[in-house]
Structure formats: C-alpha cells, structure tokens
C-alpha cells in the first residue's frame, strides 16, 4: 500500500492514509513524500472531498473509516482495483501466480527483464536484494507483478490476481492453502480457472507441467500455453540441476 501511495503521489495525487500503527522504515518513506499519516482509524480522517478512497484487504466492516465511506457514499476501490485502473491498464502485464514460490519467481523474472535492459515496473511481495525495494513504478510498457490468490477486500471476495489484466500468466503450482477463505482445493482451482479465463489469445500462459493441478486449471485456455518441467510432456524441460550453498543451476531446453 505504501509503495502505491508514493506512486500515486508522483502522478500528482494528494495522498493521505491511516493505519493502526505505522513504523519505520515505512513511516519515514511516506513522510519523505509528504504523505500525511494518521495513527488509528477515525471517520474524520477521510477528507471531505476525496476523489477515491482505497480500502485495504485487512479492513473489515465496523472500521470507522470504512463505515464513513459507506455512509457518505464516497467512491472507493480496493488496492488491486487501483493497480488495475491506474497502473496496469494498457501495459504488458506479467503476472506470477501459484500457491508457493510467487515472490521468488516474481523477483527472478523481474531481474531477468532488468538484466535484459527492459527495466519493467514491478510489484513483489518481498524486498529482493538485487533491487532493495519491493516495488518500482516507471513508464515501461512491461509490468511484472506477484499475483496473490487471497481475497481482495471485504466487499470483493475474488482473488486479488483477477484484477491484474494478465498478458503473460505464470502458474507455478496449485495446492490447498488459505483455509480461512477457501473451503477446499476445488475452491482454489475455481479461482485459478477464472484467472486463466481472462488471459487474451495474444497472450501466453507458462505453467508447471509437472503439477497436475496446474495442467487441470489451464486446460480450457484459449491462450497459447508452454509447459515447463522435468517430465517428457513438457515443451521446455529442466535438466542438469545442481545445488550449492549459494545458488542453484539448471539448463532449460526446448524439446
């Protein structure tokens, strides 16, 4: 949320925000960008003429500011909707998904593109050492983003990644997780199928061909697909894998 607030500020928006507690380094990061911070949630924290109120995933009904937004009939969006409408629309979005390994894979993909001098915008659910920050917003036509299957907001129980307008979709693995919002594995599969269903025909899906659930949820896609893995059915096969204390190495071959 803090990185997006800063990016909106750079685009000319006046940005304020509230949280229960804001600690360094994020508090310093926001203060340096003249973003007003409120500690604790109060209805009066919402400006009288707010153009849009962004409601975070952790906010529930009963929150004083959420109730004020609803009572005053203000225009509000979730954070994924803000990303979609202000940053992702019109770009080549590379969305990395999967129950496990999203952050690492997103960081790897971003680094590969950066090394290739594509300098993409990115948003990663961690802080890669290569970059020193978890997000970067620039004028690049490419945007690499970690696609989380967790729900969007109290008013939108779809997975966050459904908002990310994927052109290239990476599906690492599909397993049961987040038992607080998904009753079973089938519910998670349904969420992934919905995402697969919005990848355009001129896009692409790269999936783990060794994961039967990945194969299942992508089966009906109209977009081209590339299976990557160790098994013979994969178009891109992983071979010659070696591990050491500091790194992993492998060869990717087009079979």
Say if 136 falls within a structural domain: yes
pLDDT, position 146: 98
Beta carbons of 16 and 45 less than 8 angstroms apart: yes
Judge if 106 and 197 occupy the same domain.
Answer: yes
- Within a domain: residue 79? no
- Assign residue 127 the CATH number of its domain: 3.40.1190.10
Q: 41: Cβ–Cβ under 8 A, 6 or more apart, which residues?
A: 18, 20, 63, 64, 65
Last residue of a domain, one of 74, 99, 118: 74
167 touches 132 (CB < 8 A): no
Distance, CA of 86 to CA of 143 (rounded, Å):
12
CATH of the domain at 46: 3.40.50.720
* Same structural domain, 125 and 243: yes
Report the number of distinct structural domains present in the chain: 2
Let me know whether 110 and 217 are in one domain: yes
**Domain assignment of residue 81, yes or no:** no
Residue 117 and residue 28 share a domain? no
Residue 82, in any domain of the structure: no
Q: Is residue 83 part of a domain?
A: no
User: How far is Cα 171 from Cα 211, in angstroms, rounded to an integer?
Assistant: 10
Structure tokens at 124: 């990663």
* Chain segment 63-108, per-residue pLDDT in tens: 999 999 999 999 999 999 999 999 999 999 999 999 999 999 999 9
Tokens of 92: 């080549």
List all residues 6 or more positions away from 23 whose beta carbon is below 8 Å from its beta carbon: none
| Residues 186 and 231 occupy one common structural domain | yes
Domain assignment of residue 22, given as a range: 2-74
Give yes or no: residues 104 and 221 share one domain: yes
Residue 112 parent element (H or E) = helix 102-115
Q: Which of 39, 74, 109 is the last residue of a domain?
A: 74
- Considering the domain architecture, whether residues 140 and 214 belong to the same structural domain is answered as yes
d(CA 164, CA 198): 10
Residues 247 and 213 in one domain: yes
Q: What is the pLDDT of residues 177-204, one digit of tens each?
A: 999 999 999 999 999 999 999 999 999 9
Average pLDDT taken over every residue of the chain: 95
Asked, for residue 84, whether it belongs to a domain, the answer is no
- Do 46 and 170 share a domain, yes or no? no
Q: Is the pLDDT of residue 255 over 90?
A: no
In a domain, 216, yes or no: yes
Q: Is residue 24 exposed (0-12), middle (13-18) or buried (19+ Cβ within 10 Å)?
A: exposed
Is 68 domain-assigned?
A: yes
Q: Does residue 223 sit in the same domain as residue 133?
A: yes
Split at pLDDT 50, 70, 90, the class of 119 is: very high
Quick one: which of 163, 135, 136 has its CA closest to 149? 163
Enter the tokens of residue 239: 């071979």
Residues 110 and 41 in one domain: no
Q: Is the pLDDT of residue 132 over 90?
A: no
* 126 vs 25: which has the higher pLDDT: 126
């Amino acid at each position: 949320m803090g990185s997006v607030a800063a990016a909106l500020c750079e685009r000319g928006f006046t940005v304020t925000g509230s949280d229960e507690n804001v600690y360094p380094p994020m508090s310093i990061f926001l203060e340096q960008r003249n973003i007003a911070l409120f500690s604790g949630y109060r209805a009066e924290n919402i400006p009288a003429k707010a153009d849009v109120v962004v409601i975070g995933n952790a906010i529930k009904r009963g929150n004083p500011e959420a109730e004020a937004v609803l009572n005053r009939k203000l225009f509000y969006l979730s954070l994924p909707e803000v990303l979609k409408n202000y940053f992702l629309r019109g770009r080549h979005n590379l969305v990395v998904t999967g129950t496990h390994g999203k952050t690492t894979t997103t960081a790897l993909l971003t680094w590969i593109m950066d090394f290739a001098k594509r300098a993409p915008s990115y948003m990663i659910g961690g802080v890669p050492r290569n970059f020193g920050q978890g997000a970067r917003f620039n004028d690049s036509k490419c945007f690499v983003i970690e696609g989380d299957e967790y729900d969007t907001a109290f008013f939108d129980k779809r997975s966050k990644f459904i908002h990310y307008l994927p052109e290239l979709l990476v599906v690492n693995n599909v397993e049961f997780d987040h038992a607080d919002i998904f009753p079973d594995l089938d519910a998670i599969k349904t969420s992934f199928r919905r995402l697969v269903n919005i990848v355009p025909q001129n896009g692409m899906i790269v999936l783990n061909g060794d994961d039967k659930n990945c194969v299942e949820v992508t089966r009906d896609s109209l977009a081209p697909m590339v299976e990557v893995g160790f098994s013979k059915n994969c178009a891109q096969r992983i071979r010659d894998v070696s591990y050491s204390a500091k790194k992993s190495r492998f060869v990717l071959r087009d079979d």
